[in-house]
Amino acid sequence: MSPGPELGCIADDFTGATDLAGNLAQAGRRAVVTVGVPASPVPDADAVVVALKSRTAPRQRAVGESLRAHRALAAMGCGRIWFKYCSTFDSTSEGNIGPVTDALLEATGAAWTIACPAFPAGGRTVYQGHLFVHGRPLDETGMRHHPLTPMTDSDLVRVLRPQTAYGVGLLPHQVLRAGHRAVLAHVARLTADGRVRTVVTDAVDEKDLAVVERATRHLPLVTGGSGLALSLPGGVPGARAVEAAPGPAAILAGSVSEATLAQTAHARRTLPARKLSAPDVLRSPADAAAAAVAWAAPHLAAGRTVVLHSADDREDVRRARERHGGAHGAAEQAVEETFAACARGLAERGVRRFVVAGGETSGAVVTALGVRTLRIGPAIAPGVPWTCASWRGRTVNLALKSGNFGDPDLFTAAQRYLDHPATTAPIRR
């Protein structure tokens, strides 16, 4: 038996970290997310997930931070390492999926590993190496136009090859369907001459993932999305119970993905909502946040959940960029600073529950609240768990939602999963 946690995970963004930890909790693991590399061992955890902001960082930095995280997890005695990246394989020809995988192969001494982004419960499937999002090839989705990691090819073997120093193989569906022994024989052939060290795995449903899990449970390193976690056997019942803070809630939507825009539009029908004014935000994030918090105060006093959002559509972002006319990313930075200041102001006004949409926005909010660790609670949607953290010694609950996750009613339904965790487990297997 391993002396430390069963799993040590390195996530390349914050929402991805809680996504993986949430699925590990669904599989009965006591999962804890640390914001950045932990300075000391994490007690009472079966899985420690280190949340980094390395997805679009310069390659050297991403590799360096991931190795630092690996050293901390290895020092805790973690049995296996899991490199978590996006289920839409967000990367460029430079990386960072390939370079970080290469570095972790060396660090863990693994002869080979898998690249398994499939998350069927979240609509991500892989067939013959091609990634589909709710049945559409990746390159035909909005990811084609992502500003930082545009995904213009759904063939993951082709996408990964230029990113890694080693060969890339494919574990196709027909082999998977023949069972885990056939998988191991196939991989043995692929990796025989030592060139191929990463194997892209097909998986279109949970049955496929169960075979992948069975065939790879001996590996010191796995890489991929969070979907594989749902197939882990064993686990402790009740691992998802966390304290629910009393007190009002706020939705902070800084994501401009299609799913979030639909969720915001839905929530605005029934909840008090305010759009952050772009000119105000660009002039002074602090003043824009103060005005938003003042607007929220009477609604919060009346016990209502408030919604603060930054865009109705992508045009808003384009206009803000144009209006700002500054350095690349400056308008986005101002919006993130505003959400960060809103989170601080709202917490000071008694808000104890936050639903935050968007990876970057979540990073800004979690950092602003000075949160160091997140314990995982019940899920609102596949890949979106409630978490429990401490703010100035008080319990706060945070749900960090990846831009593209969740149904349109996610914001309005969120509270009920925290209040009634035992009766509402929305993950369909």
Ligand X SMILES: O=C(O)[C@@H](O)C(=O)CO
Residues within the interface to ligand ATP (CB under 6 A): 15, 254-257, 260, 278, 310-311, 316-317, 320, 331-332, 335-336, 358-361, 402-404
Q: How far is the CB of 402 from ligand X (least distance, A)?
A: 4
d(CA 413, CA 424): 11
Amino acid at 10: I
* Closest of 279, 312, 280, 311 to residue 293, by C-alpha: 280
225 binds, among ligand ATP, ligand X, none (CB under 5 to 8 A by kind): ligand X
Q: How many CB atoms lie within 10 A of CB 233?
A: 10
What's the gap between Cα 357 and its chain centre? 11
387 binds, among ligand ATP, ligand X, none (CB under 5 to 8 A by kind): none
**Contacts for 282-289: CB closer than 8 Å, 24+ residues apart:** 282/320, 282/323, 282/324, 282/331, 282/334, 285/334, 285/335, 285/337, 285/338, 285/340, 285/341, 286/337, 286/341, 288/338, 288/341, 289/338, 289/339, 289/340, 289/341, 289/342, 289/344, 289/345
Q: For residue 56, report the phi and psi dihedrals to the nearest 5 degrees.
A: -115, 15
Q: Which is nearer to ligand X, 285 or 363 (CB)?
A: 363
Q: How far is the CB of 195 from ligand ATP (least distance, A)?
A: 34
Q: Which two tokens stand for residue 144?
A: 């084609």
Residue least distant from ligand ATP (Cβ): 358
Q: How far is the CB of 427 from ligand ATP (least distance, A)?
A: 19
87 binds, among ligand X, ligand ATP, none (CB under 5 to 8 A by kind): ligand X
Q: How far is the CB of 66 from ligand X (least distance, A)?
A: 15
* Closest of 34, 25, 26, 31 to residue 372, by C-alpha: 34
Q: How far is the CB of 74 from ligand ATP (least distance, A)?
A: 28
Q: How far is the CB of 312 from ligand ATP (least distance, A)?
A: 9
Q: How far is the CB of 298 from ligand ATP (least distance, A)?
A: 25
d(CA 301, CA 103): 51
Q: Which is nearer to ligand X, 13 or 332 (CB)?
A: 13
d(CA 6, CA 8): 7
Q: Which is nearer to ligand ATP, 28 or 142 (CB)?
A: 142
Q: Which is nearer to ligand X, 115 or 175 (CB)?
A: 115
Q: Which is nearer to ligand ATP, 169 or 359 (CB)?
A: 359
382 binds, among ligand ATP, ligand X, none (CB under 5 to 8 A by kind): none
361 binds, among ligand X, ligand ATP, none (CB under 5 to 8 A by kind): ligand ATP
d(CA 128, CA 144): 20
Q: Which is nearer to ligand X, 124 or 197 (CB)?
A: 124
Element (H, E) at 214: helix 206-216
320 binds, among ligand X, ligand ATP, none (CB under 5 to 8 A by kind): ligand ATP
Residue least distant from ligand X (Cβ): 16
Q: Which is nearer to ligand ATP, 14 or 166 (CB)?
A: 14
